[in-house]
Amino acid sequence: MKTVAVIGGGAAGYFAAINAAEGDPAAKVHLYEASRRTLTKVSVSGGGRCNVTHHCFDPRELVRFYPRGGKELRGAFHQWQPQDTVDWFQSRGVQLKTEADGRMFPTTDDSQTIVDCLTQAAKNAGVTLHLKTGVISITNRPEPNTHNPTPNFHLTLSTGKTATATHVVIATGGGQKNAGHALASSLGHSITDLAPSLFTFHIDHPLLKDLQGLSLPQVRVSYPTAKLAQSGPVVFTHWGLSGPGVLKLSAWGARVFSQLDYQCELLVNWTGDSKPDAIRQALELAKATHARKALVSLNPFDFPRRFWERLLEYVSISPDTQWAQLPKKAINQLVETISATRLSTNGKSMNKEEFVTCGGVSLKEIDFKTMQSRLVPNIYFVGEVLDIDGVTGGFNFQAAWTTAHLAAESIARA
């Protein structure tokens, strides 16, 4: 009898278990979770709303949001992409909605909707859940070829018991201390260097002081030394900067920033992509057309008032100064500060809503048509245990759904 052991009770693990059981109702599917709770990341992601996927239905475009794994995922996304994810949840009574930035959430705005959907689907499919049961080791004991496969993987469990399986899906997620990586190594797989991704920067700078909670809709943040740059919304925090623009930069530069121990100098254009000349023209136009107005009462860039006042203070300009009295030197200072503020970082903090690790099981050792190991037949890797990670916005969950579904399909056909 076909016996499937899925290791890890997160998004990828649940999706693999459900689809394997539904794809082959005769199979015995066991889901092992080392902790007492499953789907914890699903529960907290997106501020407790669960950013299920992203409204991007062209695989060629979709892969551009993955700093690592995009090339390998292109074919996989042709097999299972965000539209398939939307349809899957909809067929189970869960409607998704799209927000302005493309992120997709359940219409309930409650991650529990997704948790309940997955747990109920697993129960309905006959998946056996084992909580507080980690898998410590996997021993491969090949059996002779037969039309009725017998278990050839022996699993040592944290409970002291053992289990057997014909197929094993490793879906333990990312992280520095990962049981899945240890299992993969024991099976001969290589693990690429691990580093945090999707983090925020610690920055102590007078321009940022007391602005926590304030956000700007479009800011360009770059690290020119490594030719890294991203644009997007930025949020001021107690410790520095956060928001999608910062998180995207951290994802693309995950290994670079790790090697620098998160000590570097970022360049920030607070308008997004406006060039210095365009910024200068906007300032000079304001001076010409609003000569008698105070700078504090009119800013040409629609910055929040608190940020505009802080900019003026930073370059030693009184906010009550009339535009007509703004000297050329002050305009030059504003242009430089708005287009290219230099911010020195002195650490990082993880993004609480979406914590991701760069690195994992080497993609060269995985068949992306099936997510099966190229080294050990009937061993599969899905989700963040692989060297795959996306930027913020639902892309990491989509990679989990896609890889898990491909693995489940392969197992069901076996």
- The answer on 262 and 207 residing in a single domain is yes
* pLDDT above 80 (res 228): yes
pLDDT of residue 144: 60
- The answer on 95 and 232 residing in a single domain is no
pTM attached to this predicted model: 0.93
* pLDDT above 70 (res 145): no
Q: Which residues pair with 366 in a beta bridge?
A: 373
How many domains are contained in the chain? 2
Tell me how long the chain is.
414
Work out the pLDDT band at 141, boundaries 50, 70, 90.
confident
User: In the chain, pLDDT over 70 holds for what percent of residues?
Assistant: 97
Average pLDDT over residues 298-305: 97
Nearest CA to 33 out of 131, 103, 125 is that of 131
- The answer on 357 and 307 residing in a single domain is no
- 22-26 long-range contacts (CB < 8 A, ≥24 apart) are 22/125, 22/412, 23/408, 23/409, 23/411, 23/412, 23/413, 24/411, 24/412, 25/125, 25/126, 26/1, 26/2
- The answer on 205 and 277 residing in a single domain is yes
- The answer on 257 and 128 residing in a single domain is no
Q: How far is the C-alpha of 157 from the C-alpha of 162, rounded, in Å?
A: 6
pLDDT of residue 177: 84
- The answer on 181 and 50 residing in a single domain is yes
End position of a domain, from candidates 315, 349, 383: 349
- The answer on 168 and 24 residing in a single domain is yes
pLDDT of residue 242: 96
Work out the pLDDT band at 149, boundaries 50, 70, 90.
low
End position of a domain, from candidates 323, 349, 375: 349
- The answer on 189 and 102 residing in a single domain is yes
Average pLDDT over residues 278-294: 98
End position of a domain, from candidates 306, 334, 349: 349
Average pLDDT over residues 93-111: 98
**Residue ranges in 80-140 assigned as alpha helix (H):** 82-90, 111-125
For CA atoms 250, 251, 257, 262, the dihedral sign is positive
- The answer on 190 and 271 residing in a single domain is no
pLDDT of residue 352: 66
Q: What angle do CA 244, 248, 251 make, to 5 degrees?
A: 140
pLDDT of residue 147: 62
pLDDT of residue 249: 98
Task: Tell me, rounded to whole angstroms, the distance of Cα 299 from its chain centroid.
Answer: 35
Q: Are strands 153-157 and 228-236 parallel, antiparallel or unpaired?
A: unpaired
- The answer on 204 and 151 residing in a single domain is no
* pLDDT above 80 (res 354): no
- Report the CATH number at residue 408: 3.50.50.60
- The answer on 191 and 207 residing in a single domain is no
- The answer on 122 and 241 residing in a single domain is no
Residues 44-69 pLDDT 10s: 999 999 999 999 999 999 999 999 99
Would you say 294 and 257 are in contact if contact means Cβ atoms under 8 Å apart?
no
Domain holding 300, by residue range, is 200-349
Average pLDDT over residues 8-27: 99
Lowest mean pLDDT among 32-36, 112-116, 324-328, 354-358: 354-358
